Amino acid sequence: MQPPEQKTAKEEYVQELIRSGLLREKERWITEMIRPERLMRMHQVLNQRTRYISVLLEAIDDGHNQAAVLRSADAFGVQNISIIEGDKPFQPNKKVTQGSHKWLTIQKHPDLQTALQKLRSEGYQICVTYLGDGAVPIGEVDLSRPAVLLFGNEHRGISEEAARLADQKFYIPMVGFVQSFNISVAAALTLQEMTKRAREIAGQRYFLTAEEKRELFLEWIMQSLRPPLRDKVQQILAKSKRPGGQKEDIRLSV
């Protein structure tokens, strides 16, 4: 049993989750299965999460590189990752991700055209790392609209098609003899710069909406439960109704 003082602190925090809209009164029972420290951490992370900046990986083959990009995305609060597989399947090294992949929304696409069509339909502009003509320094990228950051293969870079279809091309200025970074380093530097600038430019638009936070909060709770219990909780939640009569749709991230 929990000590009385810990139980009281947790109850106060559950009330805060209900007031914030992340949890509904009838879902209070879910929190009995989650440590209060984990609930608090979820709440804190959600308040900094964004879909204003997203990532698209085109044919990144190395599992360590795949994992490193996911870890950087999570670290900088970027929620959505789109994947186009290359010569090898998308299998990020879990020792490198350190569990960060569990908290991201990852979607695979069959090809570049399909991925870009979907992302543009969601309001994104496509920004690619590029060393050729027409590229601007990373600090000059226009972030007045949501942006997908497209990173290409470790050896070939982005495809010619990606370069042709991009809305903006950018590069990371360097002053040494080398002209490029490893994909994982380039992604980390780009995410740090782009999220910082986008947050300043977009203001409140940068962050998740209240409904997005709630949906993600429930997904993360599912991720925190062991599979047998997770399945049972999902079944119970699926029976509840959304406003308008639609069933609750709790999807697990990849």
Q: Binding site for S-adenosyl-L-methionine: which residues?
A: 129, 172
Query: Known binding site: residues?
Result: 129, 172
Spatial strand order in the sheet of 53-58: 105-109, 80-84, 53-58, 147-151, 125-129, 168-171, 136-137
